[in-house]
Amino acid sequence: MNKTITIRQETKKDRISVYNLIKETFKNIEYSNKDEHNLVERLRKSKSFIPELSLVAEFNKKIVGLYCLPRLK
Pairing of strands 5-9, 62-68: unpaired
The residue ranges of every structural domain in the chain are 5-68
The structure's pTM equals 0.87
List of long-range contacts for 13-19, beta carbons under 8 Å, 24+ apart: 14/56, 14/63, 15/44, 17/62, 17/63, 18/56, 18/63, 18/66
* 24-69 pLDDT, tens digit each: 999 999 999 999 999 999 999 999 999 999 999 999 999 999 999 9
CATH code for the domain defined by 5-68: 3.40.630.30
pLDDT for residue 31: 92
